[in-house]
Structure 1
Amino acid sequence: MTRRQKRSRAAGTPPRRKCRALFVALAVVAGATLAGTAPADAATWTGVAPGVTYRQYDLVAAAGTARAHVLGVDLADSRVRLGLLYPGAMAARATVSSLAGRQKAVAGVNGDFFDITEAQHPGVAATGASVGPAVAGGRALKGAVPDAQRFGPAPPRGTDTRAVVGVGADGRARLDSLTLDGWYTAAGRRMPLGGVNQYALPENSVGAYTADWGSVSRRRAACGSDTARAAPCSTGAYEVTVRRGRVVSASVTPGSGAIAAGSTVLVGREAGAQRLRRLIVGQRVAVRYALRSASGSAYGFAVGGIPVLSGGRPLAGLDTSVSAVRTAVGIGDGGRRVFLFALDGAARYRRGLTIAEVAAALRGLGATEGFGLDGGGSSTLVARPPGAAARVTVRNHPSDGAERPVANGVGVFVS
């Protein structure tokens, strides 16, 4: 024992506990100091399932005390994987606990920001679809909406709606960007797709909608603009339905209802609508698309959100003024360790953290990469009782007083 350790023991503070307190107190991001106030036993991880642990602890932040609920996920354990929780359609919502129960996840958190209200567009219902790309089981489900049509806080400079957190074919988690690479071919001409199963399309584009979209109206796709989510809906939308490679119907307004397997509905706005008007019933049309990653990685799972931490450093421009209940993902140990982080929404803790403070909290857990997910009433963390085969329970207190139905989530699965 060193002389310093002897002095520490004499003062009644175990050396490890003092070091931990010092580490958290030094987690400074953009001028905001984040200090942990949890007793030693609250920092102990408890088992949920093989390779999955849980803890809760308090943080003293700019707006007051916040309570964090965290799942630690060991992706180095071959029995453990992450996957997308979603209600079977992109334009649909369900609670995290019901999604986890249906898909047999042992734990999870809510996911991407989503189209929750359409007050600016009279007569147009919110779709419930998420902002960013989504991948499940290695299959591309949807692309990202235009940046100006996103919901949620402003992202850090240099990032956009294509940002994702996911797990690659190598089994490691990472932050990346997924860009739609899609087109439709008719009469020997190949034309680009501006979106796939998205609640908003770029101006003058054509988007593809499949059975993965669901039964909600596609009218919202032609509303807003490339510069304003609240801009009026286009008056020149048009759609055609392609089944088994041929046009079978057309409509001057985007429709609704389930899309049959093997069919694709093409929705065009402005110049995109004019291009679709040239198609005739019986004409051959081929539709192809994929999501291409900036890193070149292939993903088995990916979900959209906002990057907040990269290479152990907070991204420039993270907000330091608005505190709220939030959900986030942290990645450490070269992508082998994942932290699913959700704040408590009980009245005592509801002031929450700023985005900069979330980045600091993730770094304090050992993350080098961090990613923000939807917050407020959406923030939910669920886990099954330790070692039990029972259904998951909600571990935090959702700030709405009950679980909010969400577009998707991040599920933890154990085989």
Structure 2
Amino acid sequence: MTRRQKRFGAGRTLLAVLTALGALAGAALVGAAPAGAAEDATRIAPGVVYRELDIQAARGPTHAHVLSVDLRDPRVRLDLLYPGAVAARATVSQLADARGAVAGVNGDFFNITEVQHPGVRATGASVGPVIARGTALKAAVPNGQRFGPALPPGTSTQDVVGVGVDRRARLDSLALDGAVTTPAVRLPLGGLNQYALPVGSVGAFTSAWGSASRVRATCGTDTDRAAPCSTDTYEVTVRDGRVVSAADTPGSGPIAEGTTVLVGREAGAQQLRKFSTGEPVQVRHRLVAQKSWVPYRFALGGYPVLRDGLPLAGLDDRTSAVRTAVGIGDGGRRVLLLAVDGAPEYRTGLTIAEVADTMRQLGSVDAFSLDGGGSSTLVARTPGAGGVSVRNHPTDGVERPVPNGIGVFSAG
């Protein structure tokens, strides 16, 4: 038996503990082993267990890699992985090793290409809201500007999965609340460090954005990502509370601490043209949770597929693909991180409906879909190793750089 056959065969041992949960409606877990065989699961660190399992999906067998994280253990926590800027990318293994994480998975969908806008470069920024270490880094782009599969009915780009300061994981929605205020006018803020701004709005870019061009923020419309870039734009730079410069075209390059660049399109651009050098400007922004009063330590975007133990209505049950997902159980105290293997024999993957059923079968009450395909990556550190290793087979043959991910940290 080859090393790979041994590794995949061992994954089937997890299924014994799942037998009592019943058969899946769409995807069926296969290869059940005798009771007690789940001891073959690998303990990555205190409160963190890694397993593999086979799934008999509608389009054939697939293989999944699962991290079980027990947040009841005070030594373990989850946090955002990102390369230090919203508009930047790195591989999950690079992000995990840079932060000292013992494991992790890729995160949100992102602005990966710009073939519809010649001369405009993709920013690499993610779609949904992002909170890192309790600080809001970005807000959500309009639904029509999203990259990734169609959203299930009733969901939006504002949906997030996160962990609060109470150490409980939950699903939520984060809306931007902000304003730009001068002695003469008060404008609603339409975006924060986003690769796409709503038509007619003003968006704020801070040092968290990075150095990527801000032109992409004025391309497309709220309903059509491929629509042409706006020809009516304006940019104002505010430093230490006063206007210091302006330009007709959004710029690029790093933004210094204490500086905010305001980008306007259409009606927003017309308002910014009224600002004058030296004029005092106050920019205020925050992300407001729609469900929880507990502040988030971290949060990132994607979309929900399971709520209160029930799959969302209208989930796609036809398109199979390699997927990454997050499951939540035990009142937010247990988190499952799942990545489907991208090896050729398993690449048909799961439908979104099968993802919801799989996460429910694994014990999740709520579940959330993250970016998939070539982005799907699960890494974990072998006990005693100096860094993480990739446990699944990325569909591209190598890790794809991504804007963010979920990191697992352990003090043990």
TM over 0.5: yes
The share of aligned pairs that are identical, in percent, is 64
The match for 1:85 is 81
Q: Is the 8 A contact 1:113 1:131 kept in 2?
A: yes
What SS is found at the alignment partner of 1:221? helix
TM-score relative to the length of structure 1: 0.93
Give the aligned residue type for 1:335. Answer: G
Q: How far, CA to CA, are the matches of 1:18 and 1:270 in structure 2? A: 56
| 1:271 has 2:267 as partner | yes
Gaps of 5+ in 2: 1-12
Give the aligned residue type for 1:27. Answer: L
Of residues 121, 124, 132 in structure 2, which corresponds to 1:125? Answer: 121
Aligned length: 396
TM-score relative to the length of structure 2: 0.93
What SS is found at the alignment partner of 1:341? strand
The match for 2:407 is 411
1:49-71 alpha-carbon deviations (Å, 9 max, x no partner): 01111000111101111101000
The match for 1:143 is 139
Structural mapping, 1:74-113, within 5 Å = 74-113=70-109
What SS is found at the alignment partner of 2:68? strand
Deviation at 1:24, TM superposition (A): 6.2
Q: How far, CA to CA, are the matches of 2:147 and 2:62 in structure 1? A: 24
The match for 1:9 is none
Q: Is the 8 A contact 1:38 1:58 kept in 2?
A: no
Give the aligned residue type for 1:363. Answer: R
Q: Is the 8 A contact 1:24 1:35 kept in 2?
A: no
Q: Is the 8 A contact 1:214 1:257 kept in 2?
A: yes
The match for 1:48 is 44
Counterparts in 2 of 1:21 and 1:384: CA distance versus 1, 3 Å: closer
The match for 1:337 is 334
Give the aligned residue type for 1:268. Answer: G
The match for 1:370 is 367
The match for 1:201 is 197
1:10-68 alpha-carbon deviations (Å, 9 max, x no partner): xxxxxx9997575466221xxx2423235555784210001111000111101111101
Gaps of 5+ in 1: 1-15
Give the aligned residue type for 1:37. Answer: G
The match for 1:315 is 312
The match for 1:184 is 180
What SS is found at the alignment partner of 2:361? helix
Give the aligned residue type for 1:395. Answer: R
Of residues 224, 228, 243 in structure 2, which corresponds to 1:228? Answer: 224
1:65-96 alpha-carbon deviations (Å, 9 max, x no partner): 11010000000111111111000000000000
The match for 1:166 is 162
Q: Is the 8 A contact 1:53 1:73 kept in 2?
A: yes
Q: Is the 8 A contact 2:14 2:38 kept in 1?
A: no
Q: Is the 8 A contact 1:96 1:409 kept in 2?
A: yes
Q: Is the 8 A contact 1:43 1:56 kept in 2?
A: no
Q: How far, CA to CA, are the matches of 1:89 and 1:402 in structure 2? A: 23
Q: Is the 8 A contact 1:342 1:381 kept in 2?
A: yes
What SS is found at the alignment partner of 1:339? strand
Q: Is the 8 A contact 1:23 1:364 kept in 2?
A: no
Q: How far, CA to CA, are the matches of 1:138 and 1:259 in structure 2? A: 21
Q: Is the 8 A contact 1:43 1:57 kept in 2?
A: no
Counterparts in 2 of 1:326 and 1:43: CA distance versus 1, 3 Å: farther
The match for 2:31 is 37
Deviation at 1:394, TM superposition (A): 0.3
Of residues 250, 255, 266 in structure 2, which corresponds to 1:254? Answer: 250
Moved more, 87-96 or 33-42: 33-42
Q: Is the 8 A contact 1:110 1:379 kept in 2?
A: yes
What SS is found at the alignment partner of 2:221? coil
